[in-house]
Structure 1
Amino acid sequence: MLERDYFLKIIEEFAVAIQRFLNKKKEQQTDEEIQDLYRQYVGDYDILRNLTVEEAIDYARQEWEDYRQLEKLKMLADLWYTEGAIKQQPLRDILLTKSFKLFDYIDGRDKTFSLLRQQKMTKIREMLHS
Structure 2
Amino acid sequence: MLERDYIRRLIRQFFEELEKLRDKQRNDAYSSTYQCEVNSMYRAYLGHPASFFYEQDAEFILQTLASELSAEQIVQRLEMLADLLYFDASGSDCSEDLKKDLWNKALFMYDYVDRHSDTFSFERRGKMTVLKEKVHESGL
Pair 1:113 & 2:120 matched: yes
Shift of 1:28: 4.3
Q: Which residue of 2 aligns with 1:55?
A: 60
Q: Match of 2:96, SS? A: coil
Q: Match of 2:112, SS? A: helix
Number of equivalenced pairs: 130
AA aligned opposite 1:89: E
Between 1:18-27 and 1:110-119, the stretch displaced more is 18-27
Q: Return closer, same or farther for 1:88/1:23 CA change in 2, 3 Å cut-off.
A: farther
Looking at structure 2, the residues matched to 103 and 6 of structure 1 have their Cα atoms a distance apart, in angstroms, of 22
Aligned structure 1 segments of 4 or more residues deviating by more than 3 angstroms: none
Q: Match of 1:44, SS? A: coil
Q: Match of 2:85, SS? A: helix
Pair 1:36 & 2:8 matched: no
Gaps of 5+ in 2: none
CA contact (8 A) 1:60 1:69 kept: yes
CA contact (8 A) 1:77 1:102 kept: yes
Q: Which residue of 2 aligns with 1:23?
A: 23
Q: Match of 1:85, SS? A: helix
AA aligned opposite 1:90: D
CA contact (8 A) 2:54 2:98 kept: no
Between 1:23-32 and 1:100-109, the stretch displaced more is 23-32
AA aligned opposite 1:126: E
Q: Which residue of 1 aligns with 2:13?
A: 13
Between 1:119-128 and 1:20-29, the stretch displaced more is 20-29
CA RMSD of aligned residues (A): 1.7
CA offsets 1:41-100 (integer angstroms, 9 cap, x no match):
111113233221111221122111221111111111111111111233111111001111
TM-score between both structures, scaled by the size of structure 2: 0.83
Q: Match of 1:49, SS? A: helix
CA contact (8 A) 1:49 1:80 kept: no
Shift of 1:126: 3.0
